[in-house]
Chain A
Amino acid sequence: MNIYQPKNFKIIKIIDETPNIKTFVLKPLNGDKFTFQTGQFIELTVYGVGEAPFTPSSSPYHTETIDVTIMRVGRMTEVLHSMKKGDVVGIRGPYGKGYPVDSFVGKQVLIIGGGVGLAPLRSLLLTLIERISEFKKIILCYGARTPQDIVYKYLFPEWSKIKGIEILRSVDKCQPGEWDETVGVVTCLLDKIDIDVKDTVAVVCGPPIMMKFTTLKLIDKKFKPEQIYLSMERNMSCGLGKCGHCQIGSYFICKDGPVFTWEQLKDIPEPFE
């Protein structure tokens, strides 16, 4: 038995989120519980096809099963999307350091997500909801390409009922009459919110281009580099700080991250390519 050996998990439910995004609910085959901290990631194996890193989108308070929300984008996810309830996949982890939730206590938490980047942020949001009284306020800004590309559509009505949470959504484009919320890229939502920057932490996850412009916008809004938390996703292969793939400067994203502050990354070349 080596440290790169996955454990078997059974797919017990598949939820269609968008035309190319599905959420897989996975349960350990041996009946064990799966514990992780929000923001940590796993390596998921489709046997005989490939292995790739994903961040669970479920609450860490729920240990019977884990949810992983996955976009069909390459060779491995193509096969994964064709899998059925009852099929078995492999999982290693959890790896890395998650969101430092304790350090958010007493503050406003501004969560900014783009596209399928809401997956890890959903896990964070569910964690914050468990302890909602400990935070000043939670603001979720979420942007997707079109109204069809929005993930967890069925959860937003539920979340917006919770006291202490404010939700703003945008889409890049839509058909006339299809969308009555903001149209535009996610950063434009940041102009619509009323926050006391000094007392706020921003947590960002999304595609590289979105992370880049959101970070620039936050700096523009006078956020300090150490107030901006970024979920850096690279092609982690081993997950244990050895294989080298996810190196960014002297950090290994898999071991030192995947959550970093902008303070840690600002002097490194090409963080968002």
Chain B
Amino acid sequence: MKKFVTYSDLVGIIKNIIGYEIIFPTTSRHFKVLKTVEDLNLLNLNVIRPIEPIKQFFFPAKESLMYEKKDLKQIILGVKSCDIQAIEVLDKIFLSAPADNLYQNYRNNTILISCDCILPEETCFCSIVGGKPYVEQDDGVSDLNISFIDENNLILESFTDKGEEFLKHYFSDFDLPKNSDELKRNSNRTVSSKKVIEYNAEFIKEDKKGKYYKTVKYTYELDEIWRKESDKCVQCGGCNFICPSCYCFLIREASISSENQYRDKVWDVCHFTGYARVAGGANPRKYKYQRFRNRYQCKFVYRYENFDFYACTGCGRCIEVCPARIDIRKVVISLVLAKGEQVLV
């Protein structure tokens, strides 16, 4: 179902939604939880994905396993395509049998409203790892999508039953978009895709035949390159924490005192020395370069073998967060060069 809506109509309706926690992106690129109507002055749907990862709304950084929680109904507004793809990765991990019922509860109680990304920035690289800066129906995770036709006018399109119900409930009086509106939307999308490609002209572009997979896969023997590329890495774990599709966690059982025990599910980081270490001290990845390599192989090789898509969606958060200015795209380029292959084919 599609509807033609103005931006002020959309904001007006969001103001009046009750029974949901509403989370939206701000101009300063943060996720904000709507508390008062004035908060909506900060709403900006045309920035790239927020700085923080979207996974926090389904997979909190620290979650107690000891207490039952009340289900929280939430609407996340303005989610960009890279984050929608990242949720698809998390779904594959957490919802495969036996499903993680904590994650499942969050997912079932959330309405995801995606939004075309029309102003990509230089850290964005969705289009070169098989993605695109907008969401379509068959992407499967977004319930409802917002496309800007121009500054004031939008097309809302539902993708799931949840999304259609939402449209029917709040937007039943609105008209269908005109054919010309849809054409304008399509041309906006093309412009945006082109911009992402332009920004990444010097990097490897996915060719639907697993180019990143092949590049990263056969690199065990390239230890020297991995050592060199990881040399600057300070193992802060920033890229892991901020990555929307990094799903590693630890079940932490501990206590402060005999009365104060806790058991929780906390984010973990494969870059940390102790991540894979076993009791007795043996460590399958004891060197930094092995852990560094592992993250690339997890994203482009292992999960690709499992799911047939990459666990990197090109959001660029890891590039933005890295204190050593390590750029995932450049690391891949140095692998290509080390193998004596052509970068631009």
Task: Name A residues whose Cβ lies closer than 8 Å to a Cβ of B.
Answer: 1-5, 43, 45-52, 71, 73-74, 76-77, 207-208, 233-235, 237-238, 240-245, 247-250, 269-271, 273
Q: Is the CB of A269 within 8 A of B220?
A: yes
13 sampled A-B residue pairs with Cβ under 8 A: A47-B261, A48-B261, A73-B279, A73-B280, A235-B278, A238-B251, A244-B247, A247-B298, A247-B302, A249-B302, A270-B284, A271-B284, A273-B282
Contacts of B286 in A (CB 8 A): 273
Checking A5, A47, A247, A273 against B65 with a beta-carbon cut-off of 8 angstroms, the contacting residue is: A5
Q: Is the CB of B254 within 8 A of A241?
A: no
Contacts of A207 in B (CB 8 A): 280, 282
Closest Cβ of chain A: how far from B305's Cβ, in Å?
A: 4
Q: Is the CB of A237 within 8 A of B305?
A: no
Closest to A241 in B: B96
Q: Is the CB of B249 within 8 A of A243?
A: yes
Q: Is the CB of A4 within 8 A of B284?
A: no
Q: Is B277 an interface residue (CB 8 A)?
A: yes
Q: Is the CB of A237 within 8 A of B101?
A: no
Q: Is B41 an interface residue (CB 8 A)?
A: no
Q: Is the CB of B278 within 8 A of A240?
A: no
Task: Name B residues whose Cβ lies closer than 8 Å to a Cβ of A.
Answer: 65, 68, 93-94, 96, 98-102, 220, 247-251, 253-255, 258, 261, 263, 265, 268, 270, 275-280, 282-286, 290, 298, 301-303, 305-306
Contacts of B99 in A (CB 8 A): 3
Closest to A209 in B: B282
Closest to A52 in B: B279
Q: Is the CB of B253 within 8 A of A45?
A: yes
Closest to B218 in A: A267
Closest to A267 in B: B220
Contacts of B282 in A (CB 8 A): 207-208, 273
Measured between alpha carbons, how far is A52 from B252 in the docked complex, in Å?
10
Q: Is the CB of A48 within 8 A of B254?
A: yes
Given the known interface contacts A233-B278, A234-B278, A244-B247, the answer about A50 and B254 at a Cβ–Cβ threshold of 8 Å is: yes
- A-B residue pairs, 6 tightest by C-beta: A48-B255, A244-B248, A48-B261, A74-B279, A250-B302, A250-B305
Closest to B258 in A: A48
Measured between alpha carbons, how far is A51 from B302 in the docked complex, in Å?
27
Measured between alpha carbons, how far is A242 from B279 in the docked complex, in Å?
20
Contacts of B303 in A (CB 8 A): 250
Contacts of A245 in B (CB 8 A): 248, 250, 268, 275-276
Contacts of B254 in A (CB 8 A): 48-50
Contacts of B285 in A (CB 8 A): 270, 273
Contacts of B277 in A (CB 8 A): 235
Measured between alpha carbons, how far is A46 from B305 in the docked complex, in Å?
36
Contacts of B96 in A (CB 8 A): 241
Given the known interface contacts A74-B279, A77-B279, A243-B268, the answer about A234 and B250 at a Cβ–Cβ threshold of 8 Å is: no
Query: Which among B99, B100, B255, B305 has the greatest number of chain A C-beta atoms within 10 A?
Result: B100
Checking B98, B280, B301 against A250 with a beta-carbon cut-off of 8 angstroms, the contacting residue is: B301
Given the known interface contacts A4-B65, A74-B280, A242-B247, the answer about A51 and B253 at a Cβ–Cβ threshold of 8 Å is: yes
Measured between alpha carbons, how far is A4 from B253 in the docked complex, in Å?
11
Measured between alpha carbons, how far is A234 from B247 in the docked complex, in Å?
18
Q: Is the CB of A250 within 8 A of B306?
A: yes
Measured between alpha carbons, how far is A153 from B254 in the docked complex, in Å?
35
Closest Cβ of chain B: how far from A219's Cβ, in Å?
A: 19
Closest Cβ of chain B: how far from A234's Cβ, in Å?
A: 6
Closest Cβ of chain A: how far from B260's Cβ, in Å?
A: 9
Q: Is the CB of A3 within 8 A of B247?
A: no
Closest Cβ of chain A: how far from B288's Cβ, in Å?
A: 14
